[in-house]
Amino acid sequence: MGRNPVTWLGSPTFPTAARTALADVQLRGNLAHATGTIRTKREAAVGELPDWERLRRAGEAIKDDVLSNLDVYLTRLEAAVTARGGVVHWARDAAEANEIVLGLVRAAGATEVVKVKSMATAEIGLNEALEAGGVSAIETDLAELIVQLGEDRPSHILVPAIHRNRSEIRDIFRATMPGASPSLSDRPAELAEAARAHLRRKFLSAQVAISGANFAVADTGSVVVVESEGNGRMCLTLPRTLITVMGLEKVVPSWRDLEVFLQLLPRSSTAERMNPYTSVWSGVTPGDGPREFHLVLLDNGRTATLADRVGRQALRCIRCSACLNVCPVYERTGGQAYGSVYPGPIGAILTPQLGAGTDDPGTASLLRSLPFASSLCGACYEVCPVRIDIPEVLVHLRGRVVAEKPAYAPEAVAMAAASWVMVSPRRFRFAQRLLGPLRLLARRGRVRRLPWPASLWTDSRDVPAPPRETFSAWWRRNRG
């Protein structure tokens, strides 16, 4: 079986998946409404801070310092967590992380776990691994619960069910949620109450909880989870055993550094001044909260990404999803077209790097297509709270894709032929005359469809019709 470090969601390459998404009128309507609302609210929240740009630069500097000294901060974190009664595990890849977590759940004698929303556990396919091992995982974040009950796929980092409207959610609850009333309406209050009643029973009976982590403070071994619903706090305090899966890059040096991100994250993600629930725990406290705490530090392609001096800036990401909400491509296709748990602009640069080296041909094809899922408009860079230059990384990764193609690839042959024509004025003028008949295929100044191999271009973009007179010909006629 080929190496597959990141969980893929069964999507084809981005261009193929995007065509399907663009044909879904309901999906596009849901996305346009949701992302437009979040954008407007974020602009207002960010506008309240006169030092917002200084905060962004501070966040960038802290993250770059962490990435440059990752070994130092991780060993410091391990020592602090261990000193406070926690146990630290190191996982090289998804398979190793899943094996560790499943072993811990079995050791606790549990057959069901409750989960805090976590991108890292989705990345490694933990739910599927637990199910294969005879353990049921219950998502407690409302949007994740909707996705789980609907046997769907997430389409947004912050709001996984952003592609669903209230009526669709009501139908999912009626059909799949135990105890849901057949007369349940699509009023938000009723939907939330139905989810609350369902989850409360799970919270009170669960012996094991699994979470991700937004940050971990190296100095004190403190792990931080921020959320908006309070379900995460129930998971973090009630069960006997707490297991946290955290990407290596989530560590920050000190509480002073954490302060910067607790200002950047809520305004960039939910457009709030502060998160409604910020949960922090340091190891184990006798008589208060879980009796066992395990921290699984996940590599899964991160150290390989760190070796790329351009691509490594993707590891600054704090999973705010601001880039998704301003991206014109994401707004029209949704997150499922990206084929990964990390959609949108950040997914287009993070997923290909975390997944580099896969042996699976379908996954490799998807990875090669993702850096091209962008118009390079730069809106993502402008809103990123840690100043990831996503367009720069996209171009860098596109260059890598092109460099890996053989010299006889159609694109390489076409570029070589174009170069041969353009270096000679005589050949160039002759080629211009040959293109003249294309005007017969044009409609309103555009050629929209050409036969293969030119169809590889016109399948996704138009070609301007050749002018009746070239600039060179006009210049000779008017200037001699």
Confidence at residue 6, expressed as pLDDT on a 0 to 100 scale: 54
Decide if 74 is inside a domain. yes
The stretch 52-70 carries a mean pLDDT of 98
Q: How far apart are CA 242 and CA 113, in angstroms?
A: 10
pLDDT digits (tens, 9 = 90+) for 89-139: 999 999 999 999 999 999 999 999 999 999 999 999 999 999 999 999 999
Tokens representing 434 are 């040959």
pLDDT digits (tens, 9 = 90+) for 320-337: 999 999 999 999 999 999
Asked if the peptide bond before residue 453 counts as cis, ω within 30 degrees of 0, the response is: yes
Confidence at residue 3, expressed as pLDDT on a 0 to 100 scale: 47
Residue that terminates a domain, selected from 284, 302, 320: 302
Decide if 203 is inside a domain. yes
What domain count does the chain have?
A: 2
pLDDT band at 479 (very low <50, low <70, confident <90, very high): confident
Q: Where are the beta strands (DSSP E) in 215-272?
A: 215-217, 222-227, 241-247, 251-252
Residue that terminates a domain, selected from 273, 302, 331: 302
Confidence at residue 9, expressed as pLDDT on a 0 to 100 scale: 46
Q: Which domain holds residue 131?
A: 14-302
Decide if 386 is inside a domain. no
The stretch 305-312 carries a mean pLDDT of 97
Decide if 385 is inside a domain. no
Residue 162: Cβ-neighbour burial (10 angstroms; 0-12, 13-18, 19+): buried
Confidence at residue 7, expressed as pLDDT on a 0 to 100 scale: 53
Q: How far apart are CA 186 and CA 168, in angstroms?
A: 8
Decide if 331 is inside a domain. no
Sheet of strand 136-139, all strands in order from the earlier edge strand to the far edge: 87-91, 292-298, 241-247, 208-211, 112-115, 136-139
**87 φ, ψ (degrees, to nearest 5):** -125, 130
Other Cβ atoms less than 10 A from the Cβ of 118: the count is: 25
Q: Where are the beta strands (DSSP E) in 248-386?
A: 251-252, 277-282, 292-298
Confidence at residue 1, expressed as pLDDT on a 0 to 100 scale: 35
pTM of the model: 0.89
The stretch 3-31 carries a mean pLDDT of 78
- Kind and range of the H or E element at 26? helix 25-47
Cβ pair 214, 226 in contact under 8 A: yes
Confidence at residue 358, expressed as pLDDT on a 0 to 100 scale: 81
The stretch 244-269 carries a mean pLDDT of 97
Other Cβ atoms less than 10 A from the Cβ of 231: the count is: 26
Mean pLDDT check: name the lowest of 36-50, 287-301, 449-463. 449-463
Match 């470090």 to its residue by tokens: 5
> Which CATH number does the domain housing residue 175 bear?
3.40.50.10420
Sheet of strand 277-282, all strands in order from the earlier edge strand to the far edge: 251-252, 215-217, 222-227, 277-282
* pLDDT, mean over the chain: 92
Decide if 6 is inside a domain. no
Match 């129930």 to its residue by tokens: 234
pLDDT digits (tens, 9 = 90+) for 421-455: 999 999 998 988 888 888 888 888 888 888 887 88
The stretch 145-167 carries a mean pLDDT of 91
Mean pLDDT check: name the lowest of 135-149, 154-168, 240-254, 310-324. 154-168
Decide if 151 is inside a domain. yes
Decide if 322 is inside a domain. no
Residue that terminates a domain, selected from 285, 302, 319: 302
pLDDT digits (tens, 9 = 90+) for 334-347: 999 999 899 999 99
Q: How far apart are CA 289 and CA 237, in angstroms?
A: 5
- The CA R_g of the chain, rounded to the nearest whole Å, is 25
Asked if residue 4 has pLDDT above 60, the reply is: no
Q: How far apart are CA 156 and CA 359, in angstroms?
A: 27
Confidence at residue 438, expressed as pLDDT on a 0 to 100 scale: 83
